[in-house]
Chain A
Amino acid sequence: DAGVTQSPTHLIKTRGQQVTLRCSPKSGHDTVSWYQQALGQGPQFIFQYYEEEERQRGNFPDRFSGHQFPNYSSELNVNALLLGDSALYLCASSSPGLAGGLYSETQYFGPGTRLLVL
């Protein structure tokens, strides 16, 4: 049973460029969340996708956008990259929790994409 996979593993971009990161959820999971983790910090919630729609969003600017496909895989797009966007980007998948989908008690994380903006 494949876990959560992400691509690419590493990426180097320059300021102002755009980047697309990809995530395939764990088999049987329909919800994908994206997190940004700066060095030495905890993951920060960017947004969550369920049924191909953004369901929840954290405090990130509109430069951060995403998409979920019918097969539940997801993309994270970041436009107009800034130096401060350098971080580990984590994707996590989950199945509907006890509350019917909005709250997932357990999230399974992928290995992440390490983005460096120069």
Chain B
Amino acid sequence: GQSLEQPSEVTAVEGAIVQINCTYQTSGFYGLSWYQQHDGGAPTFLSYNGLDGLEETGRFSSFLSRSDSYGYLLLQELQMKDSASYFCAVISWGKLQFGAGTQVVVTP
């Protein structure tokens, strides 16, 4: 079967660094995406990894290791507005399968 696992919640203070890990088990793996969703809002695309390695987009970076079926999202210089749910999502067989999400709580 297919599965994605990510922590349910992470709490950190402003200015800190947070890493959200995602492990997956799936066939037909194509790539790993990350989405952010604020309460009541739509998911918004953050990052995509199709190949092994690190992708950097401003304060956010994402990493993929295909051999380990593992990826992570790194949030640097945390700001209050980063409080949201973060989803890893696997693209496989033309479908986007989301994890259950990680609630990131940023405190002053």
Residues of A whose CB lies within 8 Å of any CB of B are: 4, 33, 35, 40-45, 48, 55-56, 58, 90, 92, 98-99, 102-112
Contact = CB atoms under 8 A, between A and B. Distances in A.
Nearest to B4: A42
Interface of B: 30-31, 33, 35, 41-45, 48, 50, 87, 89, 91, 93-101
Contacts of B99: 42
Contact of B98 (A43, A55, A56, A104): A43
Nearest to B45: A106
B41 to A, nearest CB: 7
A110 B30 contact: no
Given A56-B93, A58-B95, A42 B33 contact: no
27 contacts: A4-B42, A33-B96, A35-B98, A41-B101, A42-B99, A42-B100, A43-B43, A43-B98, A45-B95, A48-B94, A55-B94, A56-B95, A92-B43, A98-B50, A99-B30, A102-B94, A103-B30, A103-B31, A103-B91, A105-B33, A105-B50, A105-B91, A107-B33, A109-B35, A109-B42, A109-B43, A110-B42
